[in-house]
């Protein structure tokens, strides 16, 4: 099996020449007569230029095929090969990576497994983020969780910035929140997932993840790009971590936002996460608060779903965008809101209810006009954030 990568070069770059440099320089390199006894083996490691095309806008795309035998069936060795040294060679962007089906990992749980844990099969999931991001006590977290969980929330997550701080230890936060989760389970039979942010130096991080799971964490949040794909790999491989891993895109813009350098969002947050072991991946929605391209968002969605990974369009999500999100995503999507739930004018419980009200109106084919809405959490949300028709 082979690995195919599309590199895009801006006008003025000799793409054919660059493609050859990549195919050789990022694999075996060149050799001379001293290595003639290893000729066949050396040749078997070389990359191959499959094709090159120049688009009408002057940009060129070169496709290189790499032998799978060069890498370790994981994302870090793949990245080193396809864009390690070459990333420093000038303007070039990795716009697509096509991996064999068996390359890397499949999610342990993914869309189907997360739905099973929650017992929710036929609607989008609603997810909230603890806000403010820093400065709350464990009891504050528990109080917030009490409100939103009672209102029907499916999933909550730590803010990605919330580290394991002396003033706010992760384990204490989990302990306080677990009491709420247990209570909700007892009272309603409903499971609510809490994705706890797992942090630290690699070895200790894995130990901490195991400890958190033992202590009741039923989901984990990982900042994959700041901690490393090899950390995701280790968590995904660990039999003790039998909970879904939510991948956060922190730092993705540093790799992906430039038009002519780095890698496409759909590669990093789509393909690599989907083959890297994530169960659900967060990324900006194009109608949210961050600038994002709708075509890239669609590619992320498709790359994730092709491996049963849950897409989580995020950032600036509020109840008004629900019709748009469902038209883009259908049912297999997690609607993830931070302030869009927490800052609802009537409190975070109303924030959760507004989302479910929106889902129910959509299901019943009812209108989303502010003017015709009855007084309700949804109406209050629309009054604050707009009805989001785009």
Active-site residues, by number, are 85
Pick the closer one to its own copies by CB: 373 or 381.
381
Structure tokens, 282:
């967060």
Handedness of CA 210, 118, 330, 287 (dihedral sign): negative
Answer yes or no: are the C-beta atoms of 26 and 94 closer than 8 Å. Answer: no
**Residue with smaller CB distance to its own copies, 49 or 290:** 290
3-state secondary structure of 147: helix
**Residues linked to residue 291 through DSSP beta bridges, in sequence order:** none
Q: Which tokens in the block code for residue 258?
A: 């430039």
Of 251 and 298, the one with the shorter C-beta distance to its own copies is 251
Q: In the complex with its own copies, which residue's Cβ is closer, 38 or 51?
A: 38
Which of 235, 233, 225 is CA-nearest to residue 276? Answer: 233
Residues in CB range of 193: below 8 A, 6 or more apart = 114, 117, 118, 154, 155, 156, 218, 219, 244
Other C-beta atoms closer than 10 Å to the C-beta of 178 total 18
Pick the closer one to its own copies by CB: 121 or 167. 167
Kindly provide the b/e burial profile for residues 45-54, where b requires at least 16 CB atoms within 10 angstroms of the residue's own CB: ebbebeebee
Q: How far is the CB of 120 from its own copies (least distance, A)?
A: 27
Positions of E strands within 125-165: 125-129, 155-157
For 243, which DSSP code? S
The nearest distance, CB 354 to its own copies, in angstroms, is 17
CB of 350 to its own copies, least distance (A): 13
Minimal distance, residue 355 CB to its own copies, in Å? 20
State the nearest-atom distance from the C-beta of 146 to its own copies, in Å. 13
Nearest to 271 by CA among 244, 307, 238: 307
């Amino acid at each position: 099996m082979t690995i195919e990568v599309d590199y895009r070069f801006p006008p003025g770059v000799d793409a054919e020449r660059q493609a050859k440099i990549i195919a050789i320089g990022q694999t075996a390199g060149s050799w001379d007569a001293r290595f003639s006894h290893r000729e066949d083996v050396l040749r078997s490691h070389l990359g191959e230029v499959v094709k090159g095309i120049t688009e009408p806008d002057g940009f060129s795309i070169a496709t290189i095929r790499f032998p799978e035998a060069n890498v370790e069936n994981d994302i870090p060795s793949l990245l080193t090969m396809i864009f390690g040294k070459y990333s420093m060679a000038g303007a070039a962007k990795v716009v697509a990576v096509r991996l064999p089906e068996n390359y890397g990992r499949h999610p342990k749980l993914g869309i189907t497994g997360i739905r099973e844990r929650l017992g929710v099969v036929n609607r989008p999931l609603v997810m909230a983020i603890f806000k403010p991001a820093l400065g709350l006590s464990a009891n504050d977290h528990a109080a917030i969780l009490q409100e939103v969980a009672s209102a029907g929330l499916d999933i909550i997550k730590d803010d990605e910035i919330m580290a394991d701080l002396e003033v706010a230890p992760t384990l204490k936060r989990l302990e306080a929140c677990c009491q709420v989760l247990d209570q909700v389970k007892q009272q309603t039979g409903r499971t609510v997932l809490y994705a706890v942010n797992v942090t630290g130096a690699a070895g200790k991080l894995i130990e901490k993840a195991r400890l958190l799971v033992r202590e009741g964490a039923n989901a984990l949040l990982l900042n994959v790009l700041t901690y490393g794909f090899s950390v995701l790999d280790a968590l995904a491989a660990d039999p003790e971590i039998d909970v879904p891993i939510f991948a956060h895109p922190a730092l993705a813009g540093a790799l992906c936002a430039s038009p002519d350098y780095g890698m496409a969002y759909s590669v990093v947050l789509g393909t690599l996460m989907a083959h890297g072991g994530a169960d659900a991946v967060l990324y900006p929605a194009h109608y949210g608060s961050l600038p994002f391209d709708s075509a890239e968002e669609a590619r992320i969605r498709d790359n994730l779903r092709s491996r049963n990974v849950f897409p989580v369009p995020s950032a600036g999500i509020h109840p008004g965008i629900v019709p748009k999100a469902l038209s883009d995503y259908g049912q297999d999507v997690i609607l993830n809101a931070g302030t869009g739930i927490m800052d609802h004018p009537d409190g975070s419980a109303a924030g959760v209810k507004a989302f479910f009200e929106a889902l129910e109106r959509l299901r019943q084919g009812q209108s989303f006009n502010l003017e015709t809405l009855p007084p309700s959490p949804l109406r209050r949300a629309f009054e604050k954030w707009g009805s989001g028709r785009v």
